[in-house]
A and B are shown apart, each in its own frame.
Chain A
Amino acid sequence: MFRYVRRDLMRNPRRTIASLIGVILGVGLFSGVLFFIDGSGASMTKRSLAPLALDMQVVLNAPLGTGLTLSEHVVGPRALGMGRRGRVLLTVRNTGAAPANEVVIADVPPAGLAYVPSTTTLNGKPLRDVGGHSPLSQGLAGTGLNIGTVRGGATLRIAYEVRAGRPIANVGALHLRGQISTRENVVPTPANSRPDLAVSQLAVQMRRIPGVSAVDGLAFVDLPPRAVTVGGRTVDRTVRLFAFDASYARHYPSIHVVSGALSPTAAVISAEAARHLGAGRGGTLAVRLPGRASPLSLPVGGVADLSQAKPLFYSRKSTNLEEFNYVPDAVVVSPALFRSAVIPAFRLATAARGTQLKSLPFLEADVLVDRARLQADPAAALRQTKAIASAIHRVQPTQQYLLDNVSNTLQVARDDAAVGKRMFLFLGLPGGLLAAFLAAYTASVLAVSQRREHANLRIRGAHRGHLVRMLGYRTAALASVGSVAGAALGLVVVLAILGSSSLFEASAGSLVVSALAAVGLGTVITGLALYIPARRSLSREISQERMEMSLAPKPAWRRLRLDFALLAAAGIAEAVALGSGVFDAPPGSVYNGQAVSLPSYLLLAPAVAWFGGILLCARGVQAVCAHAPVPAPPRFGSLLRGTLTRSLRRRSWTLATGAVGVGLVLAFGTALAMFTATYDAAKAADARFTVGSDVRVTPSVLSTRPHPPGFAAQLRVPGVAATTPVVYKIGNAILTSKFNEDRKSLAAIDPAGFERVANLPDKFFVGGSAAAAMQALERDPSAILVEHHSAGDLHIRTGDTVRVLLARATKQQVIKEFRVAGQYSNFPGFPQGADIVVGLGAYTRATGLRESDFFLAQTTGRDPRSVARVAGALKAGPASRDRLGVETTGTALDKDQSSLTALNVHGLVDLDSVFTLLIAAASVGIFVFGLMLARRREYVVLRAQGLRSFELRSLVLSETALMTASGMAGGVLVGSGLAYLMIRVLRPLFVLDPHLALAPPRIAVLAALASAAALVSALAATAILRRLKPTEILRET
């Protein structure tokens, strides 16, 4: 029986190929997507880490250090019998020169030992118990004993007696629980800890950890206004004093030393500080430090542009680690100088009672992970970085805490990859469904042709069991061979699209798992799809079959109203999702380790709607066909039209079923085309939103030229339609309401110009429109727009009067009253966030400041080439005479640093498109092949009756064309709806809501190729017809 099946498959190559083609293509698509996910997901490590400024930060708990140590041990016999007494001795030593203040010692006896009341002594003098408890563990909270200040070099001893509650074999093995804390280091340090290490010592130990590329010390402290002077000039705002060495600057290239060099004996100052102090190389800085009587005098060794130095200015506050808190006036000294002069000065300042310092030194060791050694797969890389972090944490765990940014980023990338996989899987899922559909369709087509063979076998004595077993063998052979071939095809196509280097970045294990999953699932799904229709066919008696064929029974899905059921299910899922707000999920945050929340389970709704929609279209096609007008008998009408319309009318389900296959493929292709176009448009819109317009021109801090608002006119190079100036700095204002006040980032814009160049969607303006908001700013100099969260925090409502400190921390700072003219949720051009927006004229008049921080330019053409051309013209023109940074939508980074938006969607769409076209061609081909199998006798009869070859060809072509056209029409219709649903699911990826973008050229190409496939198939079919032996076929009964 197995040999019979083998011969049947080998000797009927057309039938076998027809059965295999759907399985191969469907599984090819499915497996291709799995391989693609492996390949592109693996490269997400590199992409996700690219924008990361600092891998890991080891932050010292006590940057000022105290040199204070606490040792603890139990003195007396080595073993203690039950009820016997021992003595616990705690020794506090201040090995440093500076006193340690507010020293608190806490201790409870080790397990098994109990405190003997009234036995505590300090340097031999008894200490009273507190409330019946040890003075080292007072009250329920176990508060320790404050022994006040411990002078430098001093040693104190505290002792108390304990009684054993059980036999203690070795008191040396007991876990001792003493702790010490001070005003300088409020984090309790356990007794017997290793002595504190300097950052440089920590760095030496951490560099030995495998996977660590570099460890560099960084220290900084904010000095109050007027703390730095050169000659008679000073800086009237906060100056940040940094300490890092040349190796740090080498490892973090966003630090640009533009003149001079970092040196152990001199200071490098920021470009802004140099401008404000009128100093350059050769000058001498006087830095006034708290706790130091005389200013620190330092030669200026260079000037640096620190305006892009994220490692230096990213917030160290856990609540807003992603905030770039730039301090324009900065001084950089060597770590040794910071250690020898700055730390002792602050130590002295903090030691003085009643001293209130706004800023304390911050010491950290910044760890660079060896990214080249990280696995390409973010999940595997995360395991590596976690191991590194754990090893780092074990170095002096009591002295430091770790900010593990790289692991957070990889965690987001891993979760993004998982979301991406689910999203991509949806794009591959149709492959599986199409494979199943094509397999089932082919099986039903072949079942017709195999009835005669089965009848012959029955006549020769084969019983139903034999036929079922043969069907099982045939199905298993076709499904398994087709699935293996499909997986191989998928691998080849992905190799062609991604390239071997990208694909094989994925681990061999994941590729093997994908291959096995594709083959396994493909075999099962397509096996069932092949088996079920054929098995049903076998179960019928031949006479019944004939009757059912002749009456053209409705397909099972039509009888079960599956189309309505699927569409209803999709509608309910969407309604529930909409109601529960899943489409408004918050964006991701790398530093908070929060991935983009993509409700990928909702991707099932489009899949369900896809199938349901196409089935509904097929129902419509059938209804139209069934009502095709035919002349009243005995008139026949024209030969072709009369034959075709009657064939369609009385066999409407044949065409409708064929249209389902084409429709499914075309719908998928259309959805993909629209999805890609929308995805691209949304990314472009987001980039434009981030930049503010097509091009942003930012004067460098190194520029010595003024950039008043009028400078915008100088940026009108060819290709620029409009320009506008903007004033903006982080934390440059204080907003005061009746309720409270808060530091805010203010943007001052020219309303008319800004409206012209920037994309201002109405939906971002709460209870109003963009135009109304801009008009309000234009008309009323005291109008202000407030970001609605800020408004909420300060209990501000539209119409309220607020006070704003403008140009905060500058000589020109001034308080001005404004009237809140509107609120907004988002404002273009300010990726760091603009909390309040005022008119530029009002700002300039109030502060007298005329310097713009950046300029936005709108180009005449929006396409990337036009924008790039303008950027080139700006660089060659104004930027060649001045230090100007030119950023375009093409160079804008994603604000949320989500690696998901960096996914290679185009590659996946290319993959899908290849298979879409092949499946469309196969679908049409199978339809035509099915026609040939089912109707070859009809065609031969028509030929025998005198139908000419071209008439016969026209007949086949017309039916194929109608099937293809109706499938395409339904496909484009359903595909558009599908794209709409898919794009809604992607909403959390983008700042701006994506709007459905049509892709007529891609859809036209798809339709043209499907039409070409239909034409070729039909022509091939009629060519086959001519080769048939009519006399033999006409004799068949």
Chain B
Amino acid sequence: MTGDPIILDRIGRRYAVPGADAVCALDDVSLDIAGGTSLAITGPSGCGKSTLLGLLAGLEPPSSGRIWIGGVDIATLSDAESARLRREQLGLVFQADNLLPFLTAVENVALQVALGGGDSQPPLELLSELHLADHAHKLPDQLSGGQRQRVSIAAALVKAPRLILADEPTGSLDARSSGGVVDLLLDAQRKSGATLIVVTHDADVAARMDRVIRLHDGRLAGEAGPIAPAETGDLRV
């Protein structure tokens, strides 16, 4: 299986602010992402990285432009179709683990299985692979930050998604845990052939992706191919 190609065609996103001018979070962003590749989106805070990821996940619609995932313009999807896309084809990982606090680790993963339906890797098996077998029946608050993030990744990957979206997945982790999380994501991406898009501030993380793009003030400010960590500050525009 190969991940879906993604095309962003002049995407814009504006937020209305009562009593003030609308805020432009993204402006005229166009991008082609080949299926089965990995992409890092970098840029300063407030540049629109997470907004772009939210648009790709169908969590909110673009104000202008189109987003094609595997030939489907997700901006035209209904709420139910958008939800179906997320539950069947997307795996989402965020900086905060975003686990449901009243579900154990294995239940958090099993919830994703229940959401997606169809075949999937058994949750306990997946957790074992992620060295979380001993923690499978613990609630999120009984786990460390790294463990929670790994459970979160397990939940995102359990349905073998064709598109993995990760928003600062290592933002709240130490270097060692951070490396492990990126390994997990890339490993999963390579195994399943999924497309991986990672929003990150971390040059080391970005350096491990196939491509790196940089956003600035909601606009695409530059792009690099696979680069060494030291080069991330000097992208070609």
Closest-by-CB residue of B relative to A638 is B114
Contact with B along A1016-1037 (1 / 0, CB 8 A): 0000000000000111101111
Given known pairs A546-B141, A633-B136, A647-B102, the reply for A1035 and B115 (CB within 8 Å) is: no
In the complex, identify which listed stretch (B3-11, B27-35, B103-111, B186-194) lies at the interface while the others stay far away: B103-111
Contact with B along A597-636 (1 / 0, CB 8 A): 0000000000000000000000000000000000001111
Closest-by-CB residue of B relative to A941 is B98
A10 to chain B, nearest CB (A): 13
- Cβ 8 A contact of B111, one of A642, A943, A948, A1029: A642
User: Which residues of B lie under 8 Å from residue A1030 when comparing CB positions?
Assistant: 54, 59-60
A639 within 8 A of B: yes
Interface residues of A in 986-1037 (CB under 8 A from B): 1029-1032, 1034-1037
Contact with B along A628-658 (1 / 0, CB 8 A): 0000011111110011001101110000000
**Most central of A547, A646, A1032, A1035 by chain B CB within 10 Å:** A1035
Q: How far is the CA of A1032 from the CA of B167 in the complex (A)?
A: 11
User: Which residues of B lie under 8 Å from residue A944 when comparing CB positions?
Assistant: 57, 59, 86, 92, 98
On whether the beta carbons of B111 and A945 are closer than 8 Å, the reply is yes
Closest-by-CB residue of B relative to A948 is B83
Q: How far is the CA of A1031 from the CA of B102 in the complex (A)?
A: 22
On whether the beta carbons of B87 and A550 are closer than 8 Å, the reply is no
On whether the beta carbons of A945 and B50 are closer than 8 Å, the reply is no
B60 to chain A, nearest CB (A): 7
User: Which residues of B lie under 8 Å from residue A637 when comparing CB positions?
Assistant: 114
- Cβ 8 A contact of A1035, one of B15, B109, B168: B168
B123 within 8 A of A: yes
Closest-by-CB residue of A relative to B125 is A634
Given known pairs A646-B102, A938-B101, A1034-B167, the reply for A1029 and B60 (CB within 8 Å) is: yes
User: Which residues of B lie under 8 Å from residue A186 when comparing CB positions?
Assistant: none
Contact with B along A937-950 (1 / 0, CB 8 A): 11001111111110
**Most central of A546, A1029, A1034 by chain B CB within 10 Å:** A1034
User: Which residues of A lie under 8 Å from residue B136 when comparing CB positions?
Assistant: 633
On whether the beta carbons of B98 and A633 are closer than 8 Å, the reply is no
On whether the beta carbons of B87 and A945 are closer than 8 Å, the reply is yes
Given known pairs A642-B114, A1031-B50, A1035-B50, the reply for A945 and B92 (CB within 8 Å) is: yes
Interface residues of B in 73-122 (CB under 8 A from A): 79-80, 83-88, 90, 92, 94-96, 98-104, 106-107, 109-116, 122
User: Which residues of A lie under 8 Å from residue B139 when comparing CB positions?
Assistant: 550, 650
Q: How far is the CA of A1036 from the CA of B172 in the complex (A)?
A: 11
User: Which residues of B lie under 8 Å from residue A643 when comparing CB positions?
Assistant: 100, 103, 111
User: Which residues of B lie under 8 Å from residue A945 when comparing CB positions?
Assistant: 86-87, 92, 111-112, 115, 155
Given known pairs A937-B98, A941-B100, A945-B112, the reply for A634 and B122 (CB within 8 Å) is: yes
User: Which residues of B lie under 8 Å from residue A547 when comparing CB positions?
Assistant: 141
B44 to chain A, nearest CB (A): 15
On whether the beta carbons of A650 and B79 are closer than 8 Å, the reply is no
B124 within 8 A of A: yes
User: Which residues of A lie under 8 Å from residue B88 when comparing CB positions?
Assistant: 946
On whether the beta carbons of A550 and B111 are closer than 8 Å, the reply is no
User: Which residues of B lie under 8 Å from residue A949 when comparing CB positions?
Assistant: 79-80, 83
On whether the beta carbons of A634 and B100 are closer than 8 Å, the reply is no
On whether the beta carbons of A946 and B84 are closer than 8 Å, the reply is yes
B14 within 8 A of A: no
Q: How far is the CA of A638 from the CA of B116 in the complex (A)?
A: 12
Interface residues of A in 546-567 (CB under 8 A from B): 546-547, 550-551
User: Which residues of B lie under 8 Å from residue A650 when comparing CB positions?
Assistant: 102, 139
Interface residues of A in 897-940 (CB under 8 A from B): 937-938
On whether the beta carbons of A943 and B83 are closer than 8 Å, the reply is yes
B53 within 8 A of A: yes
On whether the beta carbons of B101 and A550 are closer than 8 Å, the reply is yes
Given known pairs A1031-B51, A1031-B53, the reply for A646 and B107 (CB within 8 Å) is: yes
A630 to chain B, nearest CB (A): 8
Q: How far is the CA of A1031 from the CA of B85 in the complex (A)?
A: 17
B236 within 8 A of A: no
Q: How far is the CA of A1030 from the CA of B56 in the complex (A)?
A: 13
B137 within 8 A of A: yes
Given known pairs A938-B100, A946-B115, the reply for A633 and B167 (CB within 8 Å) is: no
3 smallest A-B Cβ distances: which pairs? A946-B87, A1031-B54, A550-B141
Selected A-B contacts with CB under 8 Å, 19 pairs: A550-B141, A633-B123, A634-B123, A634-B124, A635-B110, A638-B114, A646-B103, A651-B102, A941-B98, A945-B87, A946-B116, A948-B79, A1029-B15, A1031-B50, A1034-B59, A1034-B98, A1035-B94, A1035-B167, A1037-B95
Given pairs A634-B124, A938-B101, A944-B98, 16 additional interface contacts (CB within 8 A): A633-B104, A633-B107, A634-B107, A636-B107, A639-B111, A642-B114, A942-B100, A945-B86, A945-B92, A946-B115, A949-B79, A1031-B60, A1034-B94, A1034-B96, A1035-B50, A1037-B171
